[in-house]
A and B are shown apart, each in its own frame.
Chain A
């Protein structure tokens, strides 16, 4: 089944509340997917590039990481450990060296971004929100996912959001049927998948298209022609959010817009605590139609 949520703030004054609003939406969708949960949040730009890392043994893996990584890549880095995750800030040009450093460690790189951080784990949405303190995070926009696994195992790497390029991420409700073919095609184009998950392939597809010069809107339009299966996608980029549903549109989706925000939910329930929701414009995104909201 799976539940997905997204929130794009139009009013800057609401930014300190993004984490609290989005966490509440996510927890409300627990019934749709209690096995894992995750959130991608677009906060302030850090010094340099931010890598969000995950380890099953954070006590060992992240111990002394700032010094070891700094020495290995010849740059000053900062490390902020949050439960099983750590957010590392490093100079842009050292990212390849950092990837080399992590390749033989018990550490996974979940995302890289100027502004985006991803937190995802196995467990109920409530527990994931609590472990990472998502409720107190600030930002301009974010997306979240509660997972009921179908296409791959219940693991941290199988949880959403998936990020396959700088500041890009994807959450998905549905299942794809041509992901094995696409996984091979995208690997040949430099987008090698880390998991067997179908959604990661969709994320790579969007990254490949945008990396080849397509706009977010054009990349989303491309999913309608090139992806086979059921999907409601919500995509995050540095600038904003995008939404697209497959032409059959059996995976639910509802949106709400006020002067302050644009919100996405698998169900209306997800909106019930948003400010001013009673007066919001609420509608269902049309099948096979691309929607996106971006900062200029």
Chain B
């Protein structure tokens, strides 16, 4: 286990040390001490290493992550795992707004609650939130899966393209062009895998599925006069 202590080492040097790791490194286990809400911690990692952050983080933790597994043993500020490409990010506490925004791949697990705009413009990432999520989740989501074990805020999936949304609790309201959809066997199978990977204690049959009605993003010739 290699240790980086933000009480002794600058944020820039901590990030540089983590970012310099590549696929051939033998130093695959790291811990970061005293994050104290620091911004942009462990961003841009590009190696299959495991990083444990011992505390809460500020804006943009684990952004652009590729391959790494990052655990935050606390809560995360706005934009956690933003634009993640692959790998896994686990938040033991809550996540602030726009968690997993624009993510292309990988798995983001939030064990507490996530606030507004979770998964906004997601492009292939899988997000599993054990608690509740705020308003405007999965706004303009294009690809990937958002799983919520608790309740959602207003306007879930507004202007959604092709992502799948699975919710166990209540949905306060659906956004424009987002509808409830049939849960077919392949969805139950997909959801079972996601719940297992996220360590979530739930069964797929408890969930409802939501997705795009595909009325908003197809051009209708009947509307030509409006342009």
Residues of A within 8 A of B (CB): 247, 249-250, 252, 254, 267-272, 278, 282-284, 286-287
Are B78 and A252 touching (Cβ within 8 A)? Answer: yes
Q: 24 pairs across A/B with beta carbons < 8 Å?
A: A247-B135, A249-B115, A249-B116, A250-B97, A250-B116, A252-B77, A252-B78, A252-B96, A252-B97, A254-B96, A267-B58, A268-B58, A268-B75, A268-B77, A269-B36, A269-B39, A269-B58, A270-B37, A271-B37, A272-B36, A272-B37, A284-B94, A284-B115, A287-B135
Inside 8 A of B192's CB, which chain A residues have their CB?
A: none
B38 in the interface (beta carbon within 8 A): yes
B116 to chain A, nearest CB (A): 6
Residue of B nearest to A249 (CB): B116
Inside 8 A of A250's CB, which chain B residues have their CB?
A: 97, 116
Residue of A nearest to B115 (CB): A284
B145 in the interface (beta carbon within 8 A): no
- Total interface residues on B, using CB and 8 Å? 21
Main SS at interface, chain B? loop
Are B97 and A249 touching (Cβ within 8 A)? Answer: yes
In the complex, besides A254-B96, A271-B37, A272-B37, 13 extra interface pairs with C-beta distance below 8 angstroms are: A249-B134, A250-B116, A252-B78, A252-B97, A267-B37, A268-B37, A268-B57, A269-B36, A269-B58, A272-B36, A278-B55, A282-B75, A287-B134
Inside 8 A of A268's CB, which chain B residues have their CB?
A: 37, 56-58, 75, 77
Known: A249-B116, A282-B56. A269 touches B96 (CB 8 A): no
Inside 8 A of A247's CB, which chain B residues have their CB?
A: 135
Residues of B within 8 A of A (CB): 36-39, 55-59, 75, 77-78, 93-94, 96-97, 115-116, 134-135, 153
A248 to chain B, nearest CB (A): 8
Residue of A nearest to B136 (CB): A248
Residue of A252, A267, A284, A287 with highest tally of chain B CB at under 10 A: A284
Inside 8 A of B37's CB, which chain A residues have their CB?
A: 267-272
Inside 8 A of B96's CB, which chain A residues have their CB?
A: 252, 254, 284
- In whole angstroms, how far apart are the Cα atoms of A278 and B153 in the complex? 28
- In whole angstroms, how far apart are the Cα atoms of A36 and B20 in the complex? 39
